[in-house]
Amino acid sequence: MQSSSQGLAPTAAAALERGLACNLDDVIMTVGLSKTFPGGIRAVESLNLTVAAGEIFGLLGPNGAGKTTTVGMLSTRVIPTAGEACVGGVDIVAEPALAKQAIGVVAQSNTLDRSLTVWENLYFHCRYFGADKAAARARADELLAQFHLADRARADVATLSGGMAQRLMVARGIAHRPHILFLDEPTAGLDPQSRLALWEILHGLHGEGLTVLLTTHYMEEADQLCDRVAIMDHGRILALDTPRGLKASVGADTIARVATTGDPAAFAAALAAGLGDGARTETGDGAVTVFLKGADGVVPRIVALADAGGFAITDLSVSEPTLETVFIALTGKELRE
């Protein structure tokens, strides 16, 4: 962990000479990144990711999918058991202290410094990252204004509401102008209003060119905020694309869910035969789900087919595919179970 006067650790010099390509254009790059915890729990398996500058990248998956471990590795707190990763062009294993200069983190829990005031949290954070007194003061003031916390500057952080604490954590995360901001489940436990406010903030930061990697198990969040989304489950990436691309991968633009009296399997067969080639059916929970291309006239056609087969419809809904649909298609289970 000794660094040379040039600021490059000997291990990193060796890594460079080994030919590890930390591409400086990719803000995040991982190759075969894996983490097996003691006891053999494989939290992340062979993750290959590239996140470009200015992207909002989402890791979407249920609890236990390996999202937090991934963020932990990329922010140097979890040591990978295999593979390599670069953040901001720096090898996170060889030079964690240097990599931290490029990283801002908003953790899942409230990690604000409870011995300090709101303002001091920002001020000292800037000082940790090398700002002098005047610069740290100015930045703390600026951020408090930007995040609408100026009237709470001298407050104890324990007195902040959940939404305010979260805003302060984001403000602190970007205070040192990192290349990338990690947000681990940033809206979990927030009320809807605070969630929307946070989304707005993230849109704003995106507009300023900040790269953001966020984890979430809310598919709306991934859909609304992210340029690209990786769907994770059991430590692996199952699919990676833009939200639009992921939804298109379902192979349908209309999804109808029909509950009827009678045998769902028989009704599914009737629908598949009656709706023609493009339609695919699934049964589950006593209902039939139909994936179709083209929404025109779907409802009357389904009703007609039900009547013809002697099924009485008890419930019918038509929707577009969501990331939830994609997740169910990939894993056979729902995101929030």
Partner 1 sequence: MSAVADHLATRRAMGFRPSRGASLAAFWALLLRDLRVLRKTIVVFAIRTVMQPLLLVFVFTYVFPKIGQGVGGSSSSEAAFSTLLMAGVVGTSMIFQGVQAVALPLVQEFGYTREIEDRVMAPLPVWGVAVEKIAAGAVQALIAGLVVFPLAAVIPATPVHLHVHWLFLLTIAPIAAVLSAALGLTMGTRVKPQQVPLLFAIVVLPITFLGAVYYPWASLAPIRWLQIVVLVNPLVYMCEGFRLALTSGVVHMPIWAIYAGMIAFTVVLSWVGIDGFRRRVLS
CB atoms within 10 A of CB 116: 15
- What DSSP string runs through 25-65? TEEEEEEEEEEEETTTEEEEEEEEEEEETT-EEEEE--TTS
In the complex with partner 1, the residue whose CB is nearer, 25 or 277, is 25
> How near is the Cβ of 237 to partner 1 at its closest, in Å?
21
- Can you tell me which of 92, 98, 140, 306 binds partner 1, judged by CB under 8 A? 98
Closest CA to 231 of 103, 80, 318, 334: 334
- Can you tell me which of 58, 61, 88, 235 binds partner 1, judged by CB under 8 A? 88
CB atoms within 10 A of CB 249: 15
Q: Any contact of residue 210 with partner 1 (CB under 8 A)?
A: no
* Environment class of 110 (CB within 10 Å of its CB; exposed 0-12, middle 13-18, buried 19+): middle
- Can you tell me which of 52, 116, 269, 303 binds partner 1, judged by CB under 8 A? 116
Q: Any contact of residue 66 with partner 1 (CB under 8 A)?
A: no
C-alpha 74/C-alpha 132 separation (Å) is 28
In the complex with partner 1, the residue whose CB is nearer, 97 or 145, is 97
Closest CA to 165 of 110, 230, 93, 97: 110
Q: How many residues bind partner 1 (CB under 8 A)?
A: 47
Contact pattern for partner 1 over residues 232 through 271, marking x by CB under 8 A = ----------------------------------------
In the complex with partner 1, the residue whose CB is nearer, 116 or 155, is 116
Say how many residues make up the chain: 337
Output the CA angle 70-83-36, nearest 5 degrees: 60
- Can you tell me which of 33, 78, 92, 232 binds partner 1, judged by CB under 8 A? 78
In the complex with partner 1, the residue whose CB is nearer, 63 or 111, is 111
- Can you tell me which of 32, 48, 79, 245 binds partner 1, judged by CB under 8 A? 79
- Span interacting with partner 1, options 126-134, 249-257, 287-295, 323-331, rule CB under 8 A: 126-134
Whether the Cβ atoms of residue 84 and residue 11 lie closer than 8 Å to each other: no
Contact pattern for partner 1 over residues 149 through 188, marking x by CB under 8 A = -----------------------x----x-x---------
Who contacts 60 (Cβ-Cβ below 8 Å, separation ≥6)?
Answer: 215, 216, 217, 219, 222, 229, 230, 231, 232, 323, 327, 335
Q: Any contact of residue 77 with partner 1 (CB under 8 A)?
A: yes
Whether the Cβ atoms of residue 87 and residue 27 lie closer than 8 Å to each other: yes
Exposure of 297 in the CB half-sphere (CA atoms within 13 A): 4
What part of residues 17-56 is at the interface with partner 1 (CB under 8 A)?
Answer: 17, 24, 37
Residue type, 161: S
> How near is the Cβ of 168 to partner 1 at its closest, in Å?
11
The strand pairing partners of 280, in sequence order, are 291
In the complex with partner 1, the residue whose CB is nearer, 125 or 247, is 125
Task: Catalog residues that contact partner 1 under the rule CB under 8 A.
Answer: 1, 3, 5-9, 13, 16-17, 24, 37, 72, 75, 77-79, 88-90, 95-98, 100-103, 105, 107, 109-116, 120, 124, 127-130, 172, 177, 179
